[in-house]
Structure formats: structure tokens, C-alpha cells
Amino acid sequence: MKARDARVLLTGATGGLGRPIAAMLLEAGAGVLLAGRSPARLAELARELDQDSRERCDWHEADLAAPASIETLARAGTQWRCNVVVHAAGVPAFGPAGSLSAQAVQRVLDVNLLGPMLLTQALLAGLAGQARSQVIFIGSVLGAIGLPGFSAYCASKFGLRGYAQSLRRELEDGPVRVQYLGPRSTRTPFNEPAVEAYNRATRTAMDEPERVAREALRLLEDEAAERFLGFPERLGVRLNGAVPTWLDRSFTPHRRALAETPADPLQQG
């Protein structure tokens, strides 16, 4: 679908990836309904991006951890005549698996996995009734490679990728195109100081959020089913899918870095 024909419901719109994705979509001619938890930040972003027309850029408050809020957002998206959903909302969870509180684990699964699933289900009938529509999940390379320190986060993204893959195959004969974009680590405030230290210790390559935004726009227009970003991450995805145990020893530096990383009290029980 060409961007100029897209009316996009974008979750996580005020986040480190959401903002550049929204800006790039609007610049390419799309309409964007911004969704997020903060009305003040959403209204400010909408003014920054398009001061002339609420028809091209509007916003709606929503919390993806709250089913009732998801239902309200789905109704708003349908009324706004969205034909594309971009799931960019997400929350982090980093640290040794045994150190994560039950609340932290529940939150990452609710926002990163269950919320997108419920929102997609709520919008599906409307999307299927259009000549052409798309659902784009902004996941992670960690939806295909399990990484020490990211057990709960990987679980949420593995689940999201599995949901996207299953839904893509289920809807193959209809008008709804389902896609998955897997960025690698990205320079945004999403990364807490402990993750930044971990990335430095493991020499993890990072991308600017604008690159991810460009790839999201490209995915919209070329309608590829799935794309991962970065090398050697793309190779790692292939190897991990074929023979996952081959990569186990390659993560020794990551295990050691995790052991030396200070615990985040916000993730603890």
C-alpha cells in the first residue's frame, strides 16, 4: 500500500520509535491516529506533526494493559476509518530472570503481547471489510533470538512474532496483510542505564530510531511479510531458527555482562 493511501492507527506514538514513525508516515502522505497513555503528550505531538488538519493527524488516549481501553481505541480506529495498524507500543524488562518481579513480568506480557493481540482482534472485522488493509507488528530481533537478561521481554516478542506468523497464514486469502518488523537494539530512552552498560560490555550494535522508522515505512509500501534489521542479527535469526543450540556458547559474554550489571530496583519484587 502506498503511504498516501494509508490511514494508520499507531500505538506507542509518543515513544522513542513511535514519534519518528509518525513523522515519517505523515511526511509520506499517510494519515495517522496517534495512540498512547498521555493525553498531554499526544496532543503536543499532534500539534508538532500536523497543525493544519485533524483529518490527517489526530490522537486517542489508550492503555494497552487495560482491555476496556483497548475496546475504546478499536472503536476510535474504526470511526477514523483506519486501514493500517502499526503496533509500536512496548515496555522493557531487563535483568536476571529470577530478579524480575511478578508485576514486571505481567506488565511486559500485557503491553507487548496481549494488548496487540486484543486490539488486532477488535479491529479485524473492520480491516477485513476493506479492499486492502495491513497490520504491522513492530517486534524485535529478540522475537527470534533468546538473549540472556531479556527472558520476559523475549517471551513477549517471541509470542508476538508467533501471533503475527499464525495470523498471516490464517488471513492469506483475504484483504488483510500481516507483517512483522524486527529491529535490533535502538538508541532511545527505552533503554535504561543497565541496558546501555550491558550493550557496551557486549559490543551490541545499535541503530538510530529514524532507521527503524524508514524500515517501517518501507514495510508498509512493499508489504513484505517479515524483516529483521542489522548484521549479524539477520544471520543470527536464520541460524537460531535452524539450529538454535549452535549459538548457545556465543552468548558467554552476555551471560558474564549480565552477572556484572547492577540490578534495577524497579524490576524487583
Ordered by where they begin, the domains of the chain are 3-267 (3.40.50.720)
Q: Which of 153, 163, 180, 198 is catalytic?
A: 153
State the pLDDT at residue 34. Answer: 97
State the pLDDT at residue 250. Answer: 80
Q: How far apart are CA 171 and CA 125, in angstroms?
A: 12
Is residue 249 scored above 90 in pLDDT?
no
pTM of the model: 0.90
State how far the alpha carbon of 168 is from the alpha carbons of 12, 14, 132, 237, 267, in Å.
22, 27, 14, 19, 34
Q: How far apart are CA 97 and CA 103, in angstroms?
A: 13
* DSSP assignment letter at 110: I
Percent of the chain at pLDDT > 90 equals 72
Is 49 in contact with 22 (CB distance < 8 Å)?
A: yes
- The pLDDT of 156-162, averaged and rounded, is 97
Is 153 an annotated catalytic residue?
yes
* DSSP assignment letter at 266: G
- The pLDDT of 221-246, averaged and rounded, is 86
